[in-house]
Structure 1
């Protein structure tokens, strides 16, 4: 087994997640027409996928930590293929939504357990480069998803789901060959009550954040108000468990908490920019596509370099530099409401993309290395949930700022918010390790419960 082939197997699983998040978006009109519903109704097959992904990754990661990450990841690939095949033959929107949710359940196990496997199998000092490969694959999936989805939808939207099957087969074959088998970490009875409560809490939080981007009603306000006492009660309950599904003291591990805070701010800036830029360049779809390609291209091409920088210098400095580059790249958009000549727009977004390439592998590395190996997949899942919640805040900001009418002032304010979020990401990044992650295992074990 080589570290590179292991990283490629994990990257193939991670590729499926953003690919299936973005492919389907461009096919919603065809799905609505064939299933006899309106386009607005089909949006739930996108929203439900994102909510499930945001909510279930910590639980799926914890299951992998206990039962064995190889076993969970292989099972998730099989389940994803079956769910995709079933979605392709769905005859109603309800059935399609059900199988789309099954896709999300499988995908929520792929990301945290894949990164947990890299933490488990590779020595410190060599993980960052492989994390960079995985980050590049995820960025590639998000970038090519609309293109692949548009091409397949022109033939038949069902191919958007069927194309996953051979990818899953190839990923399974490679993973079966290169992923090492390790004994599970079963130390006590599984905290089923905590897992259900955590899932319900995260689902409610994701639903509230998603709803705030569209409308505010009494139900949303009531659920949102109940989240804080519910989270406090869950923390009290988990603190009393011998092997909790989410140890509350995990967040007292400084580097882990800093990584989660940093990625929340960073993803607010990144996801918000991805959504707002086409609005700012309305009527110029070619300019918008070129600009977004420059933004995504920088993050894909330089992600492996960002991972190697984290190996050499520790996660703090690449993350700090990346956050500042991201902010510097977004600042011209705030000053001009993105109304720049094309060559300048490409240049500034390419700089922002390079910033993403340096932050993301470094933050992921810090999150999974800051905790004991037995919590690595859980840590990766919580980190991913923090990332999704940051993206949801970005979409809420767009809905509030733009509203029914878009103006130059509102666009300036929106991009200023995203640039400020990128600058804000630099602050918690200073709490990340500076010269490799410290491995004071007894202290970290105590902090993690």
Structure 2
């Protein structure tokens, strides 16, 4: 690979790693944020919701924007947005401002993820598969080390450090990207903005976002002091109604935000996306729930929590190369069945976990979900390729990522509901039982559909 290509890879890698890094570092910082603002667990979980809902909306939108405004512009703009949000977020005294800037940070980092791979595909012609594999390492590696990195930062400088650490990365990324990403043709921004606004499904985006947020607000606080809140039930009902209207609207228009008609034409895609959503729900319920358990129930500090969580990422990265060989020889089906079974055992481990349980049990849970995540990362993608014809694979892949984010969001929703405002040992075991049930359902779904 030429020196020019290597510098381009470093420039893009520094940018795209900010999204998974920021989504994972916060796992260890949640108890610190909760204490700093005097919040219950249900409320502080919006630090997770806001990031993933924003990413689910921003990535496809910014991908379309890059076709009109240019990928270089979108990438550089994403670095500026991420830099600004990360610098300002810890300086605001209210949790509402922190959430607002967390959303802005998510949009900025999503801008880079949406176009980073495309820039490499266009401008690196030699050893392109190697280049794309390196970018995947930036993405998966950042997610894997995020909890450890977050634990190291928060134990030394407090939760604010997980925001400030983005500043040098974004600044260096901007300098390198400005220098090494090739220039594109100039455009009339005003006319292209009008065209872009006419091409994106703004009503669909607003209905999708409003429906999810309203549903979550209703469900998260549906019970207060042992009493069911009628207004929260109404809110949840409104959220479901908005999502129903969204689905009906998306089925009628020509260029929908989420192409639901693809499900009608190719039912197998529904199956794969449902499994992918459930797998991510299981994984991220552990990814975000276990650090709070370790810190708030077991009294383990941020640094040691991050070190324990690192085992999850290491197991995931270590199993991925072997998974590729397994899928290549035997297909995705046996891999996905194995992954679902492993998550059953990992979830059952959570269900029987006691405050006095040894670290071996915790490491078993982390290893189980790490291995399962590594198996799913390759096998789910292979299952999607088998289910979606070549002519729709681009749209199907975008939809696939949307379901990844939905699984993550639903994992935090489930955890927030189970904990009911206060993270406790009993609630964590209930979460384990709930995840065991979901993992058993995923196993049955995997076996049943491939037995046909």
Common fold: TM-score over 0.5: yes
Query: Is 2:281 the partner of 1:294?
Result: no
Question: Given the alignment, which residue of 201, 220, 224 partners 2:211?
Answer: 201
- Partner SS, residue 285 of structure 1: coil
Deviation at 1:415, TM superposition (A): 2.2
Task: Please give the residue correspondences for 1:141-290 in structure 2 after superposition, counting only pairs within 5 Å.
Answer: 141-153=146-158, 158-172=160-174, 177=180, 189-212=199-222, 216-252=228-264, 253-254=266-267, 256-274=269-287, 275=289, 279=293, 282-283=297-298, 285=300
Aligned-partner Cα distance in 1 for 2:355–2:252? 51
Deviation at 1:345, TM superposition (A): 4.4
Q: Deviations over 1:213-258 (max 9, x none)?
A: 8785222211211233322222222222221222221334445433
Going from structure 1 to structure 2, the CA distance change for 1:141 and 1:361 (only over 3 Å counts) comes to farther
Question: Given the alignment, which residue of 45, 57, 60 partners 2:58?
Answer: 60
Question: Given the alignment, which residue of 144, 155, 159 partners 1:139?
Answer: 144
The equivalent residue for 1:394 is: 414
Aligned-partner Cα distance in 1 for 2:20–2:323? 19
Given that 1:129 and 1:305 are in contact with CA atoms closer than 8 Å, whether structure 2 keeps it comes out as no
Deviation at 1:387, TM superposition (A): 2.0
Going from structure 1 to structure 2, the CA distance change for 1:99 and 1:57 (only over 3 Å counts) comes to closer
The equivalent residue for 2:101 is: 99
Given that 1:262 and 1:425 are in contact with CA atoms closer than 8 Å, whether structure 2 keeps it comes out as yes
The equivalent residue for 1:77 is: 79
Query: RMSD value over aligned CA atoms?
Result: 4.7
Aligned-partner Cα distance in 1 for 2:12–2:322? 15
- Partner SS, residue 244 of structure 1: coil
Aligned length: 421
Query: Is 2:439 the partner of 1:422?
Result: yes
Aligned-partner Cα distance in 2 for 1:190–1:196? 11
Given that 2:78 and 2:109 are in contact with CA atoms closer than 8 Å, whether structure 1 keeps it comes out as yes
Q: Deviations over 1:313-349 (max 9, x none)?
A: 6544433322222223333443565865434543453
Given that 2:293 and 2:424 are in contact with CA atoms closer than 8 Å, whether structure 1 keeps it comes out as no
Task: Please give the residue correspondences for 1:358-377 in structure 2 after superposition, counting only pairs within 5 Å.
Answer: 358-363=375-380, 370=388, 372=392, 374-375=394-395
Task: Please give the residue correspondences for 1:14-29 in structure 2 after superposition, counting only pairs within 5 Å.
Answer: 14-19=19-24, 21-22=26-27, 24-28=29-33
- Which structure carries more relative contact order (alpha carbon 8 Å, separation 6+)? 1
Question: Given the alignment, which residue of 315, 335, 338 partners 1:318?
Answer: 335
Aligned-partner Cα distance in 2 for 1:189–1:91? 38
Going from structure 1 to structure 2, the CA distance change for 1:397 and 1:134 (only over 3 Å counts) comes to same
Q: Deviations over 1:292-316 (max 9, x none)?
A: 4433432244345546655676544
Aligned-partner Cα distance in 1 for 2:413–2:134? 30
Normalization by structure 2: what TM-score? 0.73
Structure 2: runs of 5+ lacking an equivalent: none
Q: Deviations over 1:22-70 (max 9, x none)?
A: 364354378x4xxxxx5228985x5444232332334323323322273
Aligned-partner Cα distance in 2 for 1:429–1:416? 20
Going from structure 1 to structure 2, the CA distance change for 1:264 and 1:348 (only over 3 Å counts) comes to same
